[in-house]
């Protein structure tokens, strides 16, 4: 669930990239991949219009 495309992630030291902690993600929320969609069908992280349609279609 880490957003490896974010500028914040790319600017982390190699050590921080290997040891991502809860505190590091709290201090840098852009490290977390968004959005997170939770439905009865499951959990989806990131955005895909096609997959969102499947998840939200009742």
pLDDT in tens, 2-52: 999 999 999 999 999 999 999 999 999 999 999 998 988 889 998 888 888
Is there a domain that residue 15 lies in?
yes
Is there a domain that residue 2 lies in?
no
Indicate yes or no: pTM above 0.75: no
Is there a domain that residue 49 lies in?
yes
Q: How many domains, the chain?
A: 1
Is there a domain that residue 48 lies in?
yes
Task: Please give the pLDDT value at position 58.
Answer: 56
Of 49 and 55, more confident = 49
Task: Please give the pLDDT value at position 13.
Answer: 96
Task: Please give the pLDDT value at position 41.
Answer: 84
Quick one: which of 36, 27, 35, 34 has its CA closest to 8? 27
Task: Please give the pLDDT value at position 53.
Answer: 86
């Amino acid at each position: 669930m880490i957003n490896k495309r974010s500028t914040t992630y790319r600017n982390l030291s190699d050590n921080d990239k290997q040891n991502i902690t809860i505190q590091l993600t709290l201090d840098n929320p852009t490290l977390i991949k968004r959005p997170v969609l939770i439905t009865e069908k499951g959990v989806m992280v990131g955005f895909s219009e096609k997959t969102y349609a499947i998840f939200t279609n009742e």
